Amino acid sequence: MTTTGPGAGGLTLTLLNGDSSWKIEVDGTRLLLDPWLDGPAIVGVKALHVARLGTPAVKLEEVLPVDALLVSHPFPDHCNATTLRQLPRDLPAFAPRVVRPFLKAIGRFRRVGEIPNLTRGGAPLVVGNADVAWFRAAAPLDTTHNALVVRGRRSGATVMYCPHAVLLQGPTIEAVERYLGGRLDALLCSFTLLDLPGYLGGVANLGKEAAVALVERLAPRHVLATHDGEKPDSGFIARVEKITRHPDIVSALSGRAPSSRPVVPVTGEPLPLVPAA
C-alpha cells in the first residue's frame, strides 16, 4: 500500500477491513480512522457480544506509516483494543470528548488529544495539513449518530464519515451544513439498518432510507458505504438485534441523487477521489 507522502495534495481513501476502518490521505497528511484490523470486537464480555471481521483486513504493517490516529466512537468495532495496542506509542491520537476516556484506558498512546464538537460552534482540530471536526448528536445520551469531517487545508478536499448515519433534524445536521459550505467530496455512510431493543439504545444504524435522504440533502460528489460489512457475531446482543442490509447502494441511489456518484471500494485498494492540484 502506497502513502501519499509530504507535499502531495488531493484526497485518497482506502478501506482497510471491509467494514469501517479507513486510511484517509488528504493534502499529504495520512490519517488512520477507526482501525479494527486484528482480533474480535467484544462488548464487555463475550457472553454479551462478540463480533469478528467477515473480510480479511489489511495487515497493519501495510497501512503504516501514518501521521495520526482518529477514533470516532467508543465501541470496540471502532476503538478496537487489539489493533490499537499494536500501533506506535508516539503516534498522535485524537478522539471526541466522549471517546477519549476509552482510548486513554487502552494505555497505549503517550498523548490523546480531543477533537472539538462543532455542533456547539468553535474551530476544528488541525492535524498536519488537515482540519478535523466532530459533530455530536444533540440528544445527551446519543453517542452514536455523530459525524466526523476531515478537510484538506490546502485543497479544500472534504470527506464526511458517519458510520451510523446522522439524524436529519436538529442542530447536528445544521452545523454540518454550515461547516461544509456546500462542498463535500466524499460521504462515508452506512446503508444498513441495525435495530436494537430500546434498553440497548434503540436503532443504531439508521438504514437505507436515512442514508439516501442524507445524500440528497448534502449532495456529495462521491458516496461510499461504510460499516456495512457482514461480521459474524454471537452473544446476547446477536440474539436480539435485527439487521436489514442493502449492499447495492447503486440501486439505492438510482434516480434519487443524480449529482452523487456511488463508489464501491475494494479492501486495500486506494481510491483517489480528488486529484492533486
Residue 82 lies in a domain: yes
Is 92 a domain residue? yes
Of 245, 252, 241, residue with least CA distance to 203: 241
pLDDT tens digit sequence for 185-216: 999 999 999 999 999 999 999 999 999 999 99
Position with higher pLDDT, 191 vs 275 = 191
- List, for residues 66-115, the tens digit of each pLDDT value: 999 999 999 999 999 999 999 999 999 999 999 999 999 999 999 999 99
Residue 167 amino acid letter: L
Q: Model's pTM, two decimal places?
A: 0.94
Q: Is residue 6 part of a domain?
A: no
Instruction: Kindly report the average pLDDT of the chain as a whole number.
Output: 94
What backbone phi and psi angles, to 5 degrees, belong to 222? -130, 145
Q: What is the mean pLDDT of residues 147-162?
A: 98
The pLDDT assigned to 141 comes to: 84
Give the CATH number of the domain where residue 262 resides. 3.60.15.10
Domain range for 175 is 11-273
Q: Is residue 198 part of a domain?
A: yes
Q: Is 4 within a domain? A: no
CA nearest 51: which of 205, 248, 229, 244? 229
Buried b (16+ CB within 10 A) or exposed e, 34-71: bbbbbebbbbeeeeebbbebeeebbeeeebbebbbbbb
Bridge partner residues of 29 (DSSP):
26
Q: What is the mean pLDDT of residues 145-172?
A: 97
User: Strand 242-244 and strand 193-195: pairing?
Assistant: antiparallel
Phi and psi at residue 203, to the nearest 5°:
-70, 120
- DSSP string across 199-264: GGTSEEEE-HHHHHHHHHHH--SEEEE-S-----EESHHHHH-EEE----HHHHHTTT-TT-EEE-
Residue 1 in any domain: the answer is: no
The answer to whether residue 3 sits within a structural domain is no
Helix/strand/coil (H/E/C) assignment for every residue in 118-187? HHHCCCCEEECCEEEEEECCCCCCCCCCCEEEEEECCCCCEEEEECCCCCCCCHHHHHHHHHHCCCCCEE
pLDDT band at 8 (very low <50, low <70, confident <90, very high): low
* Statement: residue 3 has pLDDT above 70: no
Q: Which residues partner with 79 through β-bridges?
A: none
Domain count, the chain: 1
pLDDT at 2: 37
- 157 within domain boundaries: yes
